[in-house]
Amino acid sequence: MSTRKRLVIIIDQSGSMKAKQRMVLAKDAALTVLNTLTPDDYLKQQRQQQQQQQQQQQQQQQQQQQQQQQQQQQQQQQQQQQQQQQQQQQQQQQQQQQQQQQQQQQQQPQQQQQQQQPQQQQQQQQRQQQQQQQQQQQQ
């Protein structure tokens, strides 16, 4: 049995790397040697993972920003709707005022007509009185 030495990187719980020489027994030439990472490979992997995490965080932040924008848009829409409703209410009030004015205008002609009628009656009464006076004079 031939023995081969191979450098194996052991990563302990604290995350630091320790290089130790380790004896690996090779029974065959076809025996697969333990897959080990070189320090460079390990660092590359860590960097890639960090970059991926950062990208994910950025994406999450972007999504949050989009959600906030959507919320703001919704709020703006609600405000616009409220403004529109207020405008509609104002228009309705204006219409009501116009209707009231029209009613007042209608009432005014009636009053004028009523005023004209008493005057006519008075004139008629005066004529009758004149006629009576004339009759008295004739007698």
Q: Sketch the domain layout of the chain as residue ranges.
A: 19-102
Say how far apart CA 45 and CA 17 lie, in whole Å: 14
Say how far apart CA 93 and CA 52 lie, in whole Å: 60
According to DSSP, residue 15 is labeled S
Q: Give 55-97 pLDDT, tens digit per residue.
A: 888 788 877 888 888 888 888 878 888 888 888 888 888 888 8
CB-based contact 34:8 (threshold 8 Å): yes
Query: Which residues, in sequence order, are bridge partners of residue 6?
Result: 22
CB-based contact 19:50 (threshold 8 Å): no
Verdict on whether the full-model pTM lies above 0.85: no
